[in-house]
Amino acid sequence: MKTSCCHSKKVHVQKDYVLCMNEECENFMLPTVSKATSKMWNNIFAFFFFLFFFVLSFDDFSYNGPVTASDLTKTSKKNILPLTEENLRRELDSNHIICQEQVYAQIMIESGHLNSYLSKRANNLLGMRFPFKRKTSAVGIYLPESNLIIKGTQQELKKYRTQNHYAVYENWQDCVKDYKYWQDQSFKLTERYLTFLGENYAEDPAYIAKIKSMSK
C-alpha cells in the first residue's frame, strides 16, 4: 500500500482513514488516500462505465417487428381529439368522406349516439369488420362472444376470420379513416358516375371511352 500524496509506503492505517507517515512529505501525519484505495475506485468507475457503454451499444432502440398497414395509417396520439358530434363532423370532412351527412347519421345509429359498448370497447363507431386484405387503420379484432381484443397483423389475424368479430382501432379517428379506405375501395365514385353517364346521358356508345381517354 502506498500513499497518493508522496507514493510512500510509510502509512498508518486507521479504521476510517489512512495517515501519511513520511516525514519528508508535506502531508505528514495528515489523512491521505492509499494507492490501493484509489485504484479500487478507479476500477469501480471503469466497471460501471463499460457496463453503461455496453448496455447502450447492445440495446437496439429500433423496432424490428413486422410493419403493418395500420402502423403507417394510424392517427398520431398527439392529434387525438375527444369524441364529440362537432369533432366527428370535422373528421368526416377532413377525410373527404363521401355523403358526409348520411354517414354522420349512420354513425349515430350504429354507435348509439356515440355511446355504444362497441364504440367504447373497440373505438368502432360503424360496426366495421376487420379487413383481411385491403388497406386499413385497424389494429386488431374484437370477439364479442368472449369479449376479447386480439391485436396483430392482417396475416396473423386471418385465423379468426370465420368467427364473429369487429375491427379494433387505437382511437375513434382511425375508425373514420378506415371507413374512408372502405369507401375508396368499394364505392368507386368515378366509375359509378361514368356508368351513370353511359346509361342516362350519352347516345354515343364510345362516349365513356372518349371521356376516360381525355381525362387520364
Distance CA 152, CA 140 (A): 6
Using only C-alpha atoms, the chain has a radius of gyration, in whole angstroms, of 35
Which residue in this structure is represented by grid cell 495528515? 30
12-21, 63-72, 152-161, 203-212 — which is least confidently predicted? 63-72
pLDDT in tens, 101-150: 999 999 999 999 999 999 999 999 999 999 999 999 999 999 999 999 99
Which residue in this structure is represented by grid cell 462505465? 49
Q: In the numeric block, which cell numbers belong to residue 61?
A: 432502440
Distance CA 1, CA 36 (A): 6
pLDDT in tens, 24-33: 777 656 666 6
Q: Is the pTM of this model over 0.85?
A: no
Residue 76 CB contacts under 8 Å (≥ 6 apart), including other chains: none
